[in-house]
A and B are shown apart, each in its own frame.
Chain A
Amino acid sequence: MTVDQGSEDFAAFYERHRDPCFRAVLATVPDRHQAEELTAEAFARAWAGWRRLRRHPAPAAWVVRTALNTHVSWWRRRRREVAWDGGALDAEADRAASGTAGTVGADSADGDATAADLLLRAALRRLPPRQREVVVLRVFLDLDTKTTAAALGVAPGTVQAHLHRATKALRAELEASDEQEEVRR
């Protein structure tokens, strides 16, 4: 099959960015399979609009944002049908906090991840959407502030503010976890 949408080499773009984008989505979605579906769908949309998207300041950021927005849509649909299982995230955090990170399972990507790492990821998912987007683009796609701001359509100062609030919240989660651990001991 040829990859012929637009004159740019979409395949090269995909090969270069697919894993970072997937990890960015995986960090924010509880289920690995869902993360892969969302990422693939977002890339498919990127392919469909590649002629325009290639001019985007950060096409990979567009892919990640599209995947995350699609996830929100899925979540909204699901929320209408059944109560959203928000407890799943808490359960993951609890498992991480209790040192059973190895059993976190399907979406635990790597055995080197510590309990604190998984706790962080669970905390990331609880951040407000915009803060989460900023962290994901800055950390997983390695974008600088200016490019992140361009990708989100906000001012660089707004990116800095969101990042500041996000890291403060993440740190607070870790500290709270540490305190709980101390109490357990």
Chain B
Amino acid sequence: MKSTEDFGLTGPSDDELFDGLHRSVAGATMTASAADVVALGRRARTRHRAVAAGVGTSMAALVAAIGVLAPSADSGPGTASARGLATATGKRLAPGQTLDIQEAGFSLSSKGDGKVTLSVSEVFDAAKIQAALASIGISSRVERITASEGSGIIVPTCEPKTGRQFADDDFRNYEGLSPGTGARAMTIDAAHIPAGEVLVVRLTSLKQGVITAWSLYKRDPGPCIPANKSVKVQ
């Protein structure tokens, strides 16, 4: 698989450099088994904070797997109502352009690398978050969900329209999202989100804290309609 077509650009001793790097870690092996890793994955998947952090870029897959969470627009547990799509209205950040929006409930910042980090507090205004994202050229749908909690957390699944389930094809892969610092922070690389794609952030309010699910859709998924099914998160 390796090719050296670009090694030649950098001089004849590149191979020595790379051999040296190889030697510096040669012989190092992982001690964890596949079963250990899977166990770690299972634990992480059931931890609220791991889910909240999006578990890196696997969040889209997780959201797809559990059917996507239902919004409730600040109403009672398990109920949902739709929030509209906020279509991009502003221009995306130019190279070198920094951003620092601090609002009650969320912050949006960029260090000038074209990526923006959105951090959401437990108490937030979804419409303001959508508007802020739209102002920097990112179409989004931010929805609030209230789960019912008993012996575990029951999150109603949702569907794009009655009788239809979200499918893998509705989602874009996770490129463009990476966890930021904190449980509800995500760094968004707008360069990986073509026009027409939509960032969907679903925030599930719990008695203690908020679970945040992030995903990218190839097109606006529309408001989430609660399905008759629900998913026990914990």
**A residues neighboring B (CB under 8 Å):** 1, 3, 5, 10-11, 14-15, 18-19, 21-23, 26-27, 32, 36, 39-53, 55-56, 62, 66, 69-70, 73, 76-77, 109-110, 112-114, 116-118, 120-121, 124, 135, 138-140, 142-145, 147, 153, 159-160, 163-164, 167-168, 170-171, 174
Contact = CB atoms under 8 A, between A and B. Distances in A.
B30 interface: yes
Given A27-B25, A45-B41, A153-B192, A73 B180 contact: yes
Given A55-B173, A73-B181, A110-B24, 19 more contacts: A10-B34, A11-B34, A19-B28, A23-B28, A27-B21, A40-B32, A45-B44, A47-B41, A49-B56, A49-B60, A51-B168, A53-B58, A109-B24, A110-B26, A113-B24, A121-B25, A143-B2, A144-B5, A163-B10
Interface in B169-218: 171, 173-176, 178-181, 189, 191-192
Interface centre among B22, B30, B171 (most CB of A within 10 A): B30
Nearest to B171: A52
B26 A109 contact: yes
A56 B173 contact: yes
Contacts of B179: 69-70, 73
Given A19-B30, A110-B28, A153-B192, A160 B20 contact: no
Contacts of B6: 145, 159-160, 163-164
Contact of B57 (A3, A49, A170, A171): A49
Contact of B58 (A49, A117, A120): A49
Contacts, number: 189
A139 B21 CA distance: 8
A11 to B, nearest CB: 4
Give the interface size class of chain B. Answer: 35 or more
Q: Interface residues of A: mostly helix, strand, loop or mixed?
A: helix
